[in-house]
A and B are shown apart, each in its own frame.
Chain A
């Protein structure tokens, strides 16, 4: 099982890198989403795949012999919530940026970047 999942992790990282390097912010957003899920898969893998018995201790016993590790699942749950909220925020931010700046190409977004020595028009732009 592990090699397949490790391969899937690698493929997801590659896809995410390809998308994030794109010159379209929508694809960058999708890339961030894939990257976040690749990280979740990494946590899952790090906790070892294997038996799916829930880690519940039966009455009268002190330990469970073979059970799933609950910690990675708790970590992934946290990470999913965080990456979901951040991607939601990013989607809204990108949409606003598209509305105000009129482009989805990050190379064409030049409002915060001006050549050295000329960065004076920021104040005028604000008004």
Chain B
């Protein structure tokens, strides 16, 4: 039992220690770097240990303060949350190394490292918690760190973006809190496993559907789904490359994770109402996102709109809700985190080596930097879903599941959006790498070639992430197998509930709290 406590606490304790120690060392950037990297590696290692403990299908649970389950605060690690923590740890290390390159010292005096670790703290906490109010608290930890990271540097564009990002996110999290309050009023409990047991017994099932939709709006806005995505392209393109990479990798995915978790564990009773809504949202999200990407010429804006578009595929899996669909959605989340973060990191390199993020001002990068071209092509083609890269398997799972379940329109939308994704990726390729280079771009390229240290720090994480994309593509079986089993575990919630309420204590310890 001690082991479960430690395994579940370590992924949260590592970034927490990172926040505290790097804050203490705020005067010494080198110490901060060491602390931040060590905390990120600690997170990665503890996540590997957690996945090792749950990969055979066991669910770990622990109650903090030794209070019995519906009263204490639960932490639960199943296959999905362990995989999400692992991928977050991977991103923490990759983006952490990349963040040391270039103009890092300016960021470091503005509390970059504590905020970065704070973001990771919120994200891993949200993945592991088994209590819906706690989820709100972790969301806020994540949000306040992301506010700080976004405003880092304080340029006019960043402040403008920050005003909109902060306002919209505050409204949505407050709405989430109100939904939590109403849920508590309806059921008298906030523990997610307990809610899974209590919600089907609530007499007023119309109220449960209303609550489900309230949570869908709250998490949907976090995940940037249609029509609640407007804050994302308004804000993401103003942050610096490592910040936007970690945002793109993790922030929206916490929303997707929350939808996956609540709609499989708590609100799975009334899919007749919610599933068509989620399906329609998924299609609209895919289409609007990719059209936005096709219209823009700033690399970061194109990639920001692609985040929205890809969230649609994950929702598609949640809407169809067969074991293959949920498994496909999980694989999609994992693949997308790796690919999307990598594309933003490559965009940072393009900015440095080409002198701009705008496609009309750069060009000819392929001649001087062929390696960068390859490193861009791998995640870009994977995002478009070309075999044999990781995106193909993820897309294949989701689309095959929707065909099997008879959602032909959704599947066709997914395929068509894939083609448009390919178009906008080719646009970046043609403009940035292929066409003749403007003078400004040539000068920036020369400067880039003269900075060997920066080059190594930037290209090593990009190459590592590209290797992972290739590994998921060519050696897909273990990843697909893991995702499918995680999906099956989500749909069969008994393991989760049994872990939070161990059967041996079931009779006596589990007191059904009467609603006062």
Contacts and interface: CB of A to CB of B under 8 A. Distances in A.
B55 interface: no
17 contacts: A43-B181, A48-B515, A86-B170, A89-B147, A93-B162, A93-B163, A96-B151, A96-B154, A97-B159, A100-B156, A106-B163, A109-B163, A112-B164, A112-B235, A117-B296, A120-B361, A126-B153
Interface stretch (B317-325, B335-343, B352-360): B352-360
Interface residues on B, range: 35 or more
Contacts of A69: 516
A54 interface: no
Interface stretch (B171-179, B202-210, B270-278, B476-484): B171-179
Task: Name, among B144, B238, B298, the residue most crowded by chain A CB atoms within 10 Å (CB to CB).
Answer: B298
| Chain B interface SS verdict (over half) | helix
B157 interface: yes
Given A35-B174, A97-B162, A112-B157, 6 more contacts: A25-B163, A43-B180, A47-B516, A75-B181, A100-B156, A120-B297
A101 B166 contact: no
B184 A20 contact: no
Interface string A106-123: 100111110011011011
Contact of A32 (B167, B182, B356): B167
B161 interface: yes
A32 B171 CA distance: 7
Interface in A17-46: 20, 25, 28, 32, 35-36, 38-39, 42-43, 45-46
B160 interface: yes
B13 interface: no
Interface string B299-341: 0010000000000000000000000000000000000000000
Contacts of B184: 43, 46-47, 71-72, 75
| Chain A interface SS verdict (over half) | helix
Given A45-B181, A101-B156, A20 B167 contact: yes
Interface string B215-245: 0000000000000000000110110000000
Interface residues of A, number: 47
B429 interface: no
B268 interface: no
B185 interface: yes
B185 A101 contact: no
Contact of A116 (B167, B185, B296, B357): B296
Given A93-B147, A93-B166, A109-B160, A117 B295 contact: yes
Cβ-closest 9 pairs across A and B: A46-B185, A120-B358, A42-B181, A112-B161, A119-B298, A43-B181, A111-B160, A97-B159, A112-B160
A52 interface: no
Given A42-B181, A117-B297, A110 B174 contact: no
A119 B516 contact: no
Nearest to B238: A112
Contacts of A126: 153, 155, 157
B133 interface: yes
